[in-house]
Amino acid sequence: MFSGMGSFSTTNSESGQATAFTLTPSLDYFIFDHVFIGGGISYGGQISGVSNTSLSIGPEIGYAFGRQGSNAYPYLNAGWNYQSNASNSYERVITIGSGLSLGLGIIFPVKSHIGLALEGKFNTLGTSDSQFITNTVSLNFGIVGLLF
């Protein structure tokens, strides 16, 4: 299956407004009944007082529930991502790190081999120059091509 997921958020706080987006295409292949492997690329950006962009790539494995002809296909996935972040404030700062991602989603078929997806994702990111780990929770939506 191939998918194109995305998310968009805006946050208001005392320090100002921040707008963020993420685009994530991926390609997965079923190696056994219900079990898939694959990988994806993710590009994200944040615009506030500081401009921040990120690019990550990595493999994933997952399990899809349901049978061909079902009204919905829930799934679980886990992956490992290698990520590069570039931040522009007074000077350009680039950090590189890696982390684990865990997802829970559901695909709703709308036409033959085409579906709409909704996914909740948890990502961790640790960088080589920091002792801190960043955790992110996101809600993503997108279109999925089902090749079965």
What is the pLDDT, as a whole number, of residue 148? 60
**Amino acid letter, residue 120:** G
What is the pLDDT, as a whole number, of residue 96? 85
Kindly report, residue by residue over 64-121, the tens digit of the pLDDT: 998 877 899 999 999 999 988 887 767 777 778 899 999 999 999 998 889 999 999 8
pTM of the model: 0.81
Q: Tell me whether strands 114-127 and 51-64 are parallel, antiparallel or unpaired.
A: unpaired
Nearest to 42, CA basis, from 111, 110, 119 = 119
> What percentage of the chain has pLDDT greater than the value 70?
88
- What is the token pair recorded at 109? 């078929």
**Amino acid letter, residue 136:** T
